[in-house]
Amino acid sequence: MTSNKDKDLIKEGVKQQRIDEVVLVALELFSTQGIENTTMLMVAQKADVGVASVYRYFSTKFDLALAAANCLWKNQINPYFDVIKEDTSLKGSGLDQVMRYLNVTSQLYLELPSALRYLEYFDNFVVGQSIDQSRLSSYAQTIGSTKSLFMKSLSDGVKDGSIRKDLDLEAFYYTITHTLMSLAQKLTLRGDIIDEDELIGKLDQVKIVIDMARTYIRNPKG
């Protein structure tokens, strides 16, 4: 006989599965048609749940969009950085490691354009809705998980002489990550209908920024 505790656990598991399904559906719709153009009813219909259930799980569209953004980073974007962290065969200087992290942006542009498109939609939605920063704490924690890895590579580069010693590591981290991601997001959003030559040109823009970053931080005496 199933105990009441087991029944509660099963019920909670089913509920969480439904929530996860709603988030994935929302991510798909938000990525293809934008957050502003997608209603909670559309999400409910696509997920085959009642709209009341969607609102019970997420009281506002922002809450749902935030859950989708966190899901996107954890399940699609962070794994790209984890590969670099976990692959012990990737040797090299601190500068080499930094370049590997920066080149992830090029990979995302080629392999996950829908992810970058959603991040652009999400950024615009947050600004447009004047969302208080305190409500973005979970998102900041999610996207900040790669910061420690990046900062360690910068620090290692300074120690091994491949990166200039006078570099403001914190300022460089925020400047280059914001610049690269913002550029890739905007290029993806504006590139829904493009020919092959335009695609190459847009990717080149990302690579140029990466090359500029390398030139800026490289120790000329290293």
Contact 118, 181 (CB under 8 A): no
Contact 174, 143 (CB under 8 A): no
State residue 67 phi and psi, 5-degree precision.
-60, -40
How would you class 148 by CB atoms within 10 Å of its CB: exposed for 0-12, middle for 13-18, buried for 19 or more?
exposed
State residue 192 phi and psi, 5-degree precision.
-65, -35
The tens digit of pLDDT for each residue in 7-16 reads 444 466 678 8
Higher pLDDT among residues 183 and 221, named by residue:
183
**Looking at the DSSP assignment, which residues form a beta bridge with residue 218?**
163
* Alpha carbons 219 and 119: distance in angstroms, whole number: 33
What token pair was written down for 157? 């580069």
Q: Does residue 193 surpass a pLDDT of 80? A: no
- Residue 9: predicted pLDDT: 45
> Residue written as tokens 């009642």?
50
Q: Does residue 202 surpass a pLDDT of 90? A: no
- Residue 7: predicted pLDDT: 46
* Mean pLDDT of all residues in 25-51: 96
Kindly report the average pLDDT of the chain as a whole number: 88
For the chain, where are the alpha helices, taking DSSP H only?
Answer: 4-33, 40-47, 51-57, 61-72, 78-86, 94-111, 113-128, 137-143, 147-160, 169-189, 196-217
* 50, HSE (Cβ side, Cα atoms, 13 Å): 3
Query: How does residue 64 score in pLDDT terms, banded at 50, 70 and 90?
Result: very high
- Residue 21: predicted pLDDT: 96
Higher pLDDT among residues 84 and 17, named by residue:
17
The tens digit of pLDDT for each residue in 144-191 reads 878 888 999 999 999 999 999 999 999 999 999 999 999 998 888 765
Query: What's the pTM?
Result: 0.84
**Looking at the DSSP assignment, which residues form a beta bridge with residue 163?**
218
* Mean pLDDT of all residues in 136-146: 88
What domains does the chain contain, in order, with CATH numbers? Answer: 1-59 (1.10.10.60), 62-217 (1.10.357)
The tens digit of pLDDT for each residue in 73-88 reads 999 999 998 888 777 5
- Residue 222: predicted pLDDT: 63
